[in-house]
Amino acid sequence: MSKDENRIVKGQVKVPYEMALGRTWSYFLDCLKEEKIMGKKCGKCSRVLVPPRSFCPRCFQDIEQWVEVSQEGVVETWVYVNMPFFAQELKIPFISAQIRLDGSNTGFTHQIAGIDLSDFDQVRKTVKLGGRVRAIWRSEKKGSILDIAYFEPVE
């Protein structure tokens, strides 16, 4: 029996992927490049979904109708993140938020920024549940969700 009974072996698995977006999400990202936020409206339940979906998750029907939604909305909830974890994309501290864009029926996940994030007590005075935020675009578009750089609080 080995003397070192709690011996550990380190390892890591790295696997590459190439994931198809489909036509609906490809068009959504193309519209982000033009600084437009597009949703899709279900012909049966009339909900406007953002990000759009090729089919309605509740009705299970194809959705054909595109609708442009507002770039402003209400903060449904948010969280201040100041803890690191593996392969995290955004730099801490950041604010993860769920925003109900005017004209849509679902919560849209993104980040709130454009304010000094270093002092949480100050952040709390500016970012509020039920408060309004507007999209700020990144100048160089890459065809990803971060073409909306962030949402900033509106006075």
The separation between the first and the last C-alpha atoms of the chain, rounded to the nearest angstrom, is 69
* Contact letters for another protein, residues 6-45 (x by CB under 8 A): x-x--xxx-----x-x---x--------------------
Rounded Cα distance, 123 and 95, in Å = 10
Q: Specify the 3-state DSSP secondary structure of 79.
A: strand
Q: Specify the 3-state DSSP secondary structure of 62.
A: strand
Beta strands in the chain (DSSP E): 37-41, 48-49, 65-69, 72-81, 94-101, 108-112, 132-137, 148-153
> Least CB distance from residue 111 to another protein, whole Å?
6
Question: Which positions from 62 through 121 interact with another protein, judged by CB under 8 A?
Answer: 76-83, 85-90, 94, 96-98, 106-111, 120
> Least CB distance from residue 124 to another protein, whole Å?
8
Please report, as ranges, the residues that interact with another protein according to CB under 8 A.
5-6, 8, 11-13, 19, 21, 25, 49, 51, 53, 57-58, 76-83, 85-90, 94, 96-98, 106-111, 120, 129-130, 144-146
